[in-house]
Amino acid sequence: MPALWWTHCVRRANGYFGCEDTFDADGKFDGHNTWLRFLIKQVQGSNPHKKDYFWQKFNIFTRWEPGRTTVLVFDPPEAFSNDFKDNQPPCYLADLTTAFLADPYAFHARLLTYPIISLQESAVWRIRNLLRDIETRRPSGTRPSPDYPRLHDVARHAIHVAETLDLAVSTVHAIIAGHEGFAVRVPGGGMGAVRRAHLQQLRFAEHLLKGLKLREQSNKERLSNEINLSFNIVAQYDSRISVQIGHAARQDNSAMRTIAFMTLAFLPSTFISAIFSTSFFNYTPPSDGQPGKWHMSEKIWIFWVFALPLTAVTVLLWHYWHKLFPPPPIDEVGLLSFQNRGGTDSWGLE
């Protein structure tokens, strides 16, 4: 067993395959070693607030010698361990024969065709089931509220499954290359047909994994489409709300224009009436044959001394008020307070 296999970086790798020929003290070929790792992610749900998934690992080392094959499986998944209950080999290893032991890659062909592909398929279909559940619960109604954390959590799981599938295809391709190289270096004699059968099984397993990889790519694209659709539905809803706000603002603007016009129409006469009603003006009604007279006080200048500066100060104060005292920006605390008072939330308007 190579020392590199025990290093930290190899133990944390998400997949690999390696092989080597071994030789005795006289330099003669005496065996063939292989080591491989598969990583599979099984998702149980899509709750972003707790861990609802688990990883299945295959760390396998094989040692082949003529007539004997030794297999070491480290930390096998429970589904794989259950296949060996009651000390009985599983169905895919039940027909061990001399021909089977003549090929160091016979175990790899059986392992890939049965448990590994079965677990990879389960991982892909679990993502598909979560995706289908999201599609059937697509946001609708008057006020859509997509569960974006859940969407992105499922997307994260889909990315991991696609990653491990992609590497699984590369790993099987490397196993096939190792098998072909071994067949060239170590002729099988009468066992050539058995080795070819195992090679065909390996290629079939590679093709199955490629099919699962394509399905997982389809899952990722469907999930991306669903996320984009959720954004578009919310944007469309917000757009409709904006149109309604625009119509309401237009009606308010029309009402304000009416009020402003009425104010402007009555303001001159009101202003004149207010001035002539002050004590600076006096009207003497006619009496004893004398006509009525208007009298203006000589102190009328006092009115203008106070009125004109006060008007100027009012206009200047109105003009510079928002520049001197700008409204504070709405931070997260202010936004939450605004929402608690019945304002706009993250998705639309109440």
pLDDT, one tens digit per residue, over 223-279 is 888 888 888 888 888 788 888 888 878 888 888 888 888 887 887 778 777 877 777
Structure pTM? 0.68
* pLDDT (0 to 100) of residue 46: 63
Is residue 167 predicted with pLDDT exceeding 80?
yes
Q: Taken in order 113, 115, 116, 121, is the CA torsion positive or negative?
A: positive
Q: In angstroms, rounded to a whole number, what is the distance separating the alpha carbons of residues 195 and 322? A: 86
Asked if the structure places residue 144 within a domain, the reply is: yes
Asked if the structure places residue 229 within a domain, the reply is: yes
Q: In angstroms, rounded to a whole number, what is the distance separating the alpha carbons of residues 272 and 27? A: 122
Q: What is the CA radius of gyration of the chain?
A: 42
Asked if the structure places residue 118 within a domain, the reply is: yes
* pLDDT tens, residue by residue, 31-88: 899 999 999 999 987 665 677 888 988 888 999 988 788 888 888 777 677 666 666 6
Average pLDDT of every residue of the chain? 81
* pLDDT tens, residue by residue, 277-302: 777 778 788 777 778 787 788 888 88
Is residue 345 predicted with pLDDT exceeding 50?
no
Asked if the structure places residue 338 within a domain, the reply is: no
Q: How does residue 346 score in pLDDT terms, banded at 50, 70 and 90?
A: very low
Asked if the structure places residue 169 within a domain, the reply is: yes
∠ CA 91-180-66, rounded to 5°: 60
Burial class (CB in 10 A: 0-12, 13-18, 19+), 16: middle
Number of domains the chain is built from: 1
Can you give the residue range of the structural domain that contains 61?
3-239
Asked if the structure places residue 304 within a domain, the reply is: no
Q: In angstroms, rounded to a whole number, what is the distance separating the alpha carbons of residues 350 and 342? A: 7
Q: What share of the chain is helix, strand, coil (3-state, %, to 5)?
A: 60, 15, 25
Q: In angstroms, rounded to a whole number, what is the distance separating the alpha carbons of residues 246 and 277? A: 45
